[in-house]
Amino acid sequence: MIKIAIDCMRGDFGPEITVAGVCNALAENDNLHVMLYGNPSMIEPEITAGTDRNRVEIFASEDEITNTDHPLKSIKRKPESALVQALKAVANDEADAFVSAGSSGAIFAGSLSIVGKLPGIKRPASVGFMPTMSKTSPHCLMIDTGANIAAKPEHLAQYGRLGTVLARQMMNVENPTIGLLNIGEEDSKGNEFTKETFQLLSEDETINFRGNVEPHTIMQGSHHILLTDGFTGNIMLKSMEGMAAGILNELLENINTDGALSKESLHIIEKSVHAGINRYTNVDAGGGFVLGVQKPVVITHGAAGSTMFKNSIQLAVSLKESDAFASLNE
């Protein structure tokens, strides 16, 4: 049985969405046990009929960390918050992984100070899933997507090695390819940061570094891992998600107002477009996770709906089942 500690209070919609996602995850996975942290009077009513209560534990929290709280200070000042209590359950081996739609800064700070870094890690990063148009490689791992906005070349070199281990475990790829996000493919392109990073990656014989990657080629799915600093990576991922959602929703609106299609044809097209929206906005992937800490810490969007939150829980389960973090500890 895999135990997941879940902060149910945060996100834009709180327990109404998080608990719905939990119940859906339990219904789909008989090997899942959840530890729910938050206000019991708000959590209990959202547990759907038919949910296996033998696989649900609820732990009361007396405080909450909001998006306006200082990330590191709030971890210290609000030890009874759902976020901190859930992270402590993971650190104390009471749970196998953590999931939250709360403040990404607080989650990252808490994962470092409570769960702890892996030995030898200089600066942990966040890993996101960048959808591609490739059928054989539908996602690439983007490292970093926002945790380390002041990265150094040596950090990205380490992310390349850690990402290689992750991709082998999670994507079942023996020799995953790595690209460095840059403004051009030529070796000489970029600023001092990217040039120095390029040199370090090129000299590392333990990874399969394929050189610079321009943003417009990412969607081709030619790389399993994409490296960048957290500032650039966060903008890149959010830009892609926002553009995909905007274009596909506009397409759907135009189809609906055209009036030339039968109801059956319209239904098929709408279903396909919605599937595309879910894939390119990472609803299917369920968010991202912290790389460089002892155990899986999954961070999902604050605006996540119940389906995305359910998939975030499944991501935590997959990280545990893949033994990816155990491999990183070796």
- Take residue 159 and report the two structure tokens written for it: 């992310």
DSSP-derived pairing of the beta strands 32-38 and 56-60: parallel
Which pLDDT score, from 0 to 100, does residue 149 have?
A: 86
Which pLDDT score, from 0 to 100, does residue 133 have?
A: 85
Q: Bridge-partner residues for 126, per DSSP?
A: 290
Give the C-alpha separation, 226 to 274, whole Å.
26
Which pLDDT score, from 0 to 100, does residue 327 have?
A: 65
- Take residue 169 and report the two structure tokens written for it: 């475990």
Domains of the chain: 1-121+292-330 (3.40.718.10)
SS3 218: helix
138: exposed, middle or buried (C-beta count within 10 Å: 0-12, 13-18, 19+)?
Answer: middle
Which pLDDT score, from 0 to 100, does residue 132 have?
A: 86
Interval 41-87: pLDDT, tens: 999 999 999 999 999 999 999 888 888 889 889 999 999 999 999 99
Which pLDDT score, from 0 to 100, does residue 279 have?
A: 86
Give the C-alpha separation, 86 to 154, whole Å.
32
Which pLDDT score, from 0 to 100, does residue 131 have?
A: 87
The residue ranges of the chain whose pLDDT is under 50 are none
Which residues have C-beta within 8 Å of that of residue 111, sequence separation ≥ 6?
A: 87, 98, 124, 290, 293, 297
Cα→Cα distances 309→160, 247, 280, 304, Å: 28, 24, 16, 6
- Take residue 222 and report the two structure tokens written for it: 């030619």
Which pLDDT score, from 0 to 100, does residue 326 have?
A: 67
